[in-house]
Structure 1
Amino acid sequence: MAFGFTPKHEVEINLNGFDPKQYLAICLNTAEILKWRITYVSKSGFTAVIKKSLFSNSYEFKLVIINDLASIRCESLGSEMFDWGKNKAIVEQFTGTYENLQGIITDEEITNKLVEINGVFETEEEDALTAPPATAAENFKNFLSLFVPHPGYFVTPIIICINLAIFIAMVISGVHIIEPTGADLINWGANLRPVTLSGEWWRLISSNFLHIGVIHLLLNMYALLFIGILLEPHLGRVRYLSAYLITGVFASLVSIYWHDRTISAGAS
């Protein structure tokens, strides 16, 4: 069982003189048999994403061939810290399927696959699988991209930026960054049963963009980030935004039903 901020499992395979191109061709056929979504192919290998259902965890499989050595790595995508042996199981599933296929695949099938991917052997573009690690500046740029809307990830960064902007405005106005007072939270739109029921129903929505301190904010934005990456591409902008608002309003209603004098706020 792998453990870590990004659980993964890695193995190295010696090709023992077997032609790297043919090995790559058989590996690609193996991934297709397993119905993996191949996301990148180059002359040195490929990457694929494994996701069995909408709500299951996703995994990235990477094969890199350098000279006579093939490196295989499978790592979890998302926020799980334990993989319960799933990455190892995926690698073993791949190697087992490869061994079975290698014994029955024909030379014609290998040739057809090599013809299909011939372009990757002739391209002059940089191979992403063997490119040097990103610099600190590039990593910072990639981090900032999490806050920029783009196709498939449009609503999530906007919601995150709104939450961050409101919190920054609160702090600038004098609200305590760690432990804001109840009065400050109410002034900024938190949900409280007597106040909300007195006619200020807008608090059912405004409270979803308000947070009780920086730790509360960061934890919620971290969760929202990963949920958005996984769900928004499947639900689309409108349904994803609707789900965010509807669940937020429902949570606010539950809060004022159960709690007489408890202030509630947050995107969770």
Structure 2
Amino acid sequence: MPGHEASFELHDIDKDTALATSYQAMQNLNWPVKFATADTLLGNTAGGWRAGQQITIAVTGQQLTVASESGDNGSDTVNEKNTAAFIKAYQSAEKKMGRKTIAENLQAISILREFTTDNAIEEDQKNTATAEARRVPPAKILMTWLLIAANIGVFVAMLLNGATVFEKAGLNITYIDWGSNFSPLTLSGDWWRLASNIFVHFGVIHLGVNMYCLYMAGRCLEPLTGKVKLAGAYISAGVAGSIISLWWQEGLVNSAGAAPAIFGLYGVLLALLSMGLFPKLTRQPALQSFGIFVVYNVAYGLKSHVDHAGNIGGLLAGLIIGYIYVFALLREREGQRLLWITSLVLVITAGAAYAYLQQNEVPEIQRSRALKEAETLGFKDVEQFNTKLGEVAQMVDEAMAPLQDTALNSAALKVKISQTSFPMLAMATTNLQQMQRYDVPDKMKQKTALLLNYIQWRRKQLDLYNKMGEPGSADNFVPALKQINDSVSALMLQLQQL
């Protein structure tokens, strides 16, 4: 930073007179004096703190030092001119200083000293309060840490049960198993999914951003609201967001994440801010974290399926809850303890959830169909598998058709079996062997294995029909044919159950 200083001897002038004369010199230069201590004056040139230069006058023994400092864009030449101008003004004022002027200037300096002291104390208190706000003891935000631990614990458990670290939104049956807001299930009896889904996350990035914002919201709110109110707001806003998500979105919904609950906490925060109940020193970090949270959700939503309806629902619910908490907090400041307020919030939330679920109940058949579709989430070859499966079924039907043709005699049946049935079953076997390598759920792989076994029994069945066509041999093969038919029936039953 450019600057310049100059000193000169005072020649038996006491400190107070030197400071009074310096004060007068700055007045004559139209340089306002802003602060004062026992032996220093601090002011600036006419341009102000930003456009001008800072001027410091210090008296040490029988020496007076004047310093001029400017911003990064200033120059040493300007500062040299400032120090020279002050010395000239000092010398001029010194010749005209009378007792009255000295007394008036010392009175002005005394007032500045008081202001400087008060300002320093206020600044020190502000810094102390800010430091205390930043050092929130873990015990004061215990519920926040418990909620974070619960979210992380569920995520780790899901990883151990088939979820992946980086996951596309919900394309894995594990998320449904662990309680995501899967609409056919939520609306057909799994009411608990309205709350469980706010502890389920689609990948580590989804979890990480939400936990950071949960921590920022919790460290601001929990010291003010307490553990119970914070937990009540988290659950109630999360459930409200889940309901809004189901109501707003058409068709199949599979949503999860703590975002609606966290939006709810920020809704509570905004309500407390609007009523002046939030500490000033923690407003800025709270609003900054809220801004980061909103930007992330909007940006993330541009490239993936984000449940914005649920987020907005959680925010609005949080605002309502926040104003209810305002009522309670004001009463608590007057000495009243409204222990029932969180219970009231939870009861209202539960009542709204019950009413919505009753009015939008899904039939059991739709639930069963959705569960079967859900089992195929995240597997890339399901559609190709189903196409091939249809082809295999057609091949097997064509292979077995000659046995249903009563117009065929034994010789003609043998020809049909040899030229049509066996080739068709061979093609079906080849297709099934290819299907074994597809990326499909385990149940589909089990179906493939059963079908291969089924085709082997059908080949044995056709072989027997060939042999039964020989004169006098039919009765000998009846027991074997019955065994084959029983095995085929058992396999068909297993296939139907899949």
- TM-score by length of structure 2 reads 0.27
The answer to which structure, 1 or 2, has the higher relative contact order (CA under 8 A, 6+ apart) is 1
Instruction: Report the structure, 1 or 2, having the larger strand content.
Output: 1
**Structure showing greater Rg:** 2
Structure number having the greater helix percentage: 2
